[in-house]
Each structure stands twice: as structure tokens, then as C-alpha cells.
Structure 1
Amino acid sequence: MNETRRGYGRYWIGVLPELGYLLPLLPITVAALSILMTLFWTGIGMIPIFVGAFIVLGALFVARGFGILEIWRLRGALFPAITPPRWDRAARGGNALGKLLAPLIDGHYWLYLLHGSLVNPLIGIVSWSITITWLSAGLGGTFFAVYAPFLGDESGGFARLVQYLVDEGVAVPAVLQSPVTHIAIVTVIGVVFLVTLPFVTHGLTWIHHAVARGMLSAFRSEELQVRMADLSASRSAAVAAEGTALRRLERDIHDGPQQRLVRLQMDLASAERQLDKDPEATRELIAQARAQSKEALEELRALSRGFAPPILLDRGLVPALESLAVRAPQPTHVESLLPADLELPPELERNAYFIAAEALTNVAKHANAQNAWVRLELRRIPETDAVWLDVVVTDDGVGGATSLEGHGLDGIDERLRGLGGTVEVQSPPGGPTHVIAHLPVTGELAGSVS
């Protein structure tokens, strides 16, 4: 478990889930042992006639099923999740027969077979025996006073022991021969067993979890390969997103301000030529040039919104989003559930700002909405201790939003993949639409978030 210190009450919380794991151990492990050993050794014996290979293959697949069941049961006992291996790893790129026989050369299948047919049955039988003994002694001893009167003279093993000693002529103090003393001693022993039951169930389950983590989980090298592949994909997505943004900016500048500046240059050249001949026409050309310069300035200001605004750098993410909401064509409401004293990294704030800006632009263009909402919140995943910044943009428009290549939602997805994040779009016909961006929080900040 992840806790370095665990209170006694926390142990009791896990008793029922852990008993739910430990009590069925005997039938499950015996069934696994019987089925796997029968299949495996039958297959080995029939190897000379070739069909044995397929029986061994069946044993490996059955072992995989028992292993996955073990992982699920441990998760149900409130222990950390175990990541199983990728089962298609050894079968990629082969023909149908190669894929069918791939488990024979996959070490994970053989580990699962060893775990299900030998290791888990041995540990499981011992764990089940200890659990049954401890639970019976705890419950039976604690409530001994309730049913002891119905036992008559056969009031328990301790009473029979005392009677045996008396019969053998051993001097036993009278107080120990009293039925009340018998009940008191058995009850105390039962309470001790019951009080220590949470430690026993947790310890036994922990042993099984440690064994399963070592034999049933993906290899560390495989995890590193997956991470490297994800990192490479994220890096490619980041480069693609940056390239797309630059091409879009280049196209916007070419189609907008650049054309107006060319027109402005031509108008000024015409005005210069007609300055002496036709002052009236010159004034008209200068007026047109002023209008062109004003429109070019407005377009440049609009394009500059694609860069981090000064308010984001000076005052942070929430004031920047509030400023963005004021400029939005529809009423937009900003809600921050972040701690008041939290300081986000500048790059994280910048990406969150542009994602919200792109989503609000989509609302203005396509949603036909009357209102929009932007919400910020931090979320920690207990199983992995990962921390995410969620940017949620909601509108009450017509719904039906989909991601099209080269458009807004696709750009948001591309940006997030470059950051190692994800986006969810919930937009049923008729609305409302929720665009939920999950940005990973890394470094010291992630460790400080409770």
C-alpha cells in the first residue's frame, strides 16, 4: 500500500474485502492446481503426436485466465492495481499460426502457469488455513460466554485439559477448575485473536499481492518501452501542433494584414502621383489608406490573441480567463475551484488559457449558445498519485459537436497529446456541450497537491 503509516481503524476497514479474498482461496487454488496440472502434463505426454502442443497452449491460456482473476480479486481487496502485460506483444506481425503459437514463447504465460499451478496453491492453502483458524478462534472465543451454557460439561478444550490434569493427579488450583474461569480465559483468548485479525488478513493478502506483482505484472522494461512510445507520440503531436499553429498564423497573416498592407502601399503610391494634379482624389485615396491601416491593425490585434496576453503573464490564469470571458460574444462565466494560494507553472497556465480560448471560439462559431461556462479544478488519482488540471468549457448551445481534422477540437486534442493530456467531448444533439481537457501536473507542484 502507499501509506507509510496506517491507523488501526484503517486495518478494520479492509477486513471484509480481505476476507472476501482469503476465504475462497482454497477452492480457487485447488481448482487452478487440478486443471492446470492436468492440462499441462497431458499436453506434455502427447507432444510426440503434435496435438500435445495445443493442449499445452490451452493450459497457458487457462493459466492466463486464473492470473487475471487473481489480479481482479486483489483489486477487490482494496490493494493497488496490478498492470497486466500486453498479451499481443509476441504475436505482432506474424501469420495466423504464429499468433496462435505465440504464447509458447511468451515468458508471461509461463509465469502465469507457474503462479497458478504451484506458487499460489502453496501460499493459498497456508493462507486459507491461517485465516480460518484465526477467524474461528476470534469469533468462537469472543462469544464463548453466549453459547458455553449450552455445552454442559463439555465447555471447551480448556476445561477438558484441566479435567485431564486432575484425573492424572496433577494439583490444579481450584480457581482454574471453576467454569467461570474457563469462560473468562477462553473469552480473553478469543478477544486477542479478534483484535489481531485485521493485521493477519492484511499481512496474508499483502503476501499474495507481492507475489502477484512480481509474477503477474508487466515487466519494468515493457513499461519503459510503452512510456517511450507514448513520449515519442506526444513529442510528434507537439511538433505537429506547433507546425499547424504556425501554418495557420502564416495563412491568416497572408490572407489578412499582408493583403491590406499591400493595398495600403498601392493607395499611398497613387496618392503620391496625384498629389499635384488632383488634390481631391488624393484626399480620397488617403482616406482609403487610413481605413486600410485601421482594418490591418484590427486584424493584427485579433491575430495577437494567439499569443500569451500580458494579463496572463502578470496576474495568472484566472484573471486572464475572466478577461477572455469579457471579450466573448456570448455571456461567459468563469469558475475556479483551485486553491487560492496555488501557483501554476507558466507553461501549464499558457496551455490551459489557449485551450479555453479555442473552445470558446468554437462556441462562438458553431454552438449558437446563449451562455458559456469555464471551470478550473485539480484532480488527484489515488491509485497512481497523478495530478491533473481539468479545464471544462460548457455551453447551452445546439450540441452535436464533433472533431474534424484541422478544426478547433482537433487542434485542442493535438495540443493535449503533445502535453501528455487528453480531451473528452460530450455533446449530445440539443446540447449541452462539455469540452473537458485534462492537463498533467508534474514536478514539485504535483507532490504538494493534497
Structure 2
Amino acid sequence: MKSTLLVSAALLTLVSSSPVQAQSAPVKLRFVSLAWQTQAIAAVKEAVAGCNAANKNVQVEYQQVSWDSVQDYLTTSFQARNVPDVFHFESTPVMEFAAQGVLTDMSKLIPAEMKSDIAPGAWATVTADNGAIYGVPFLWESLITIYNKDLFKAAGLRIPTVAKPWTWTEFQQASKKLTVDKNGDGTPEQYGSAFGLRSPTNRIMNLSLGFGGTYFYKDGGRYVVRVGDKEKALLKILLDMQYTSKSSAPESLTAQSPELFTGFFSGKFAMLPGIGVWARQTIAETGPKNFNWGVLPPIKATTQAQGSATQTLSIPAASAHKKEAAQFITCFVSRVNNGKLAAGDWLFPTRQSSLRGAPFQNEANGWRVASDSAKHLTMAPYQEVKGYTEVKNKVLTPTFQQMLAGRITLDDAARQIEKEGNAILAKYYK
């Protein structure tokens, strides 16, 4: 009898303790982040720590990867099926990975509150034609114009406002007025504008949307490249400013945007048009003391629309913990976290409620004007084109560079883009 009671007690202990032991081991997730600025890294780590503290059953390991290496890192991870549970990337390559079948459709894992709060244009960047969603968009940016207030005042220029923005014609006229040959030697010491056009494709593609130029059109269920009048409109302006009015600094043709800051600080360039909103951080933190600068609203063509990819959080199909990964993303992109993450990167939160809060409506460092530009952001058609990355790298970028350098004409560039671009797309749309 005693031995029977002991066995029964032992069995009861085993049965009752087993679930407790199983629940005591948290699910471990690996999260790959691309944050690189000091403030951004701090915001990401704070958000991860907060999510870990809020849910002891799911613990997230933070892993840093660079933007330069993430494409190769993910490609290798998918091939080896040794994937992170959540990764940070950009919507255009994310949708290319989705087409390969290596990502999780998150459409049923996203809470209704988050779905309704994130801007519709941001969701469009990660949503397939069949309604599948392959990432949660949490950051995006617009292209703005940063200007020297003192040079504007000296030239007597009207400052465009959100209510009354410049047209592209007004912008060109202002750039010409701000271009000054001070010593009469035929070479301006001050240029109205400096476009950073060493890698011109993203800027051209996204700003062309305001003219109605999309470059990629659906034809019989597939995409083709076309360069018509709407696509040529911005290219004509860039060429006119470079070679006719000469109001755009020639050195900016071969410069990246960060290389233009020195000339902007010294007064050589009055405006940095079409630069990303992130640039305000560099100016605020590294510019000369008391440097008087501001932000102008997006320049208006037919509209002020701009294409914009989003920064995203996705779950690989090979992850063993999809539900827990989605729970982490929901926590990570909460209203409070989304605001902090965006502010840390000097970008915009995709959550509309976050964008309405501080610091995004602050006048300091151009936040209010910059934030207002987010309402013009949308998905450009190129973001859903299979093979776009190859067309961009092999055709668009080198052709734009040749045209801007004056080695080929605009019409030659248009023909080259259509011929070579469509030859590449034919491989993807068989």
C-alpha cells in the first residue's frame, strides 16, 4: 500500500511539474537589424529590451547587419535555411524575395489596429496582387529641398510654403537667381543647386512620379519599360540646369549627397534639392554653429507625389516561430516605439498616429515641413516589377549617368533604356 502511494505521488508530481518546466523555457528569436546611426541603434535596442521585458515567454536576440551586406546575408540564409526569425530590410528587395517563396504571408498575423494605423501607401509597398503581405512597413522617407536661409534673403526670394509650394519652373528660376559669378571670371562661385547624381536612379524614379512618369507599365499582364514625355520631363529639367542655365553645380554630377555638405555649409550651394530627409541630422549635428538653414516642401509638377520604398520587418518562411515573430513585430512597431525608431533615424514613422506626435510636428530642424511631405508618398510601380534590380543596375543607372555627363542625348538614353530594359524583363515575364 505504501509503495503504491509513493508511486502515485511520484506520478502526480511528474504530471503536474512537466507543463511548468515546458513553459519556463522561453521561445528564442533572432532579429536582424540594419540600424546604423547611433540614435537609431539605441532606439532599436531600447524597443527590443522593452518587448523582451513585456513578454518573458518570447526573448529576442538582437543582431546587427549592415546595409551593404544584407542582400548577400539573406540570400545565403535562405539557401542554407539558417534564417533569422525577423529581419529588417527594404520593400523592393523584400517583394523580390517574396516572389521566390521564401517569406511568410503575414496578412493573417497583423492586428487590425496596426493595419488601420499604418498609412495605406506604405502597405502597398509590401502587398502582392493576391493580397498577401510580406512585411510590416515601419519607416519611410521623402525627398526634400534643404536651403540656405541667408542666401535666400539676400536674393529676395519668396520662401515656398506647404500651402503654396514652388512649381518646378519657379524652382528653376530661383536656382538661376541664386547662381552668382562674383568676380566676373565666367565661373560662378555660388550655385543655386547641387544635385547629388552619382547614383541617380532612385532620385529620378521617385521624383518623376510627380510628372506622372512611372517608367514601368503593365502590358498584357507583364511589365515593360517606356520612356515617354512624362518620364522625360524631369530629365529635361536636370539637363537644362546643368548645361543651359548652368544653375546646378557641375561637381554634383559625380557626387553623392553627403559629399555636398561642405559646399552647402560654405555657401557655394544655396540648395540641396531632392535630398532625403535623413540629411537634416547631418546638417544639425555637423554644420557650422549658427548655420541658418531650412526645409522646403516638395516641388510641384502635375502633383507633388513621390515614390518611396519602405523599411520593413519580415518573417522568413523557414522560421520555426512565425506566431511569436509576429507578436514581437507588433510590439516593436507599437505607436510609441514607431515614433522613437523614426526619430532616431530622422525618418518618418509609417503609423499615422505616431507621425502626428512630437518631434515630427516640431519646427526645429525642419521637422514640421518635412513631416508634411509624407502625405505625398506612395508606391512607385517599379517596386513591384520582377527584375527591377537587374534593370536598375545594368541599364538605368549607367544610362542616366551617360546622359547626365553629356555623352549621349536624352532621346538616345530613352531608346537605350527601352531596348535594354525590356530585353532583361523578358527573362522574368515568360
Answer whether TM exceeds 0.5 for this pair.
no
Whose helix proportion is higher, 1 or 2? 1
Return the TM-score normalized by structure 2: 0.24
Whose strand proportion is higher, 1 or 2? 2
Return the TM-score normalized by structure 1: 0.23
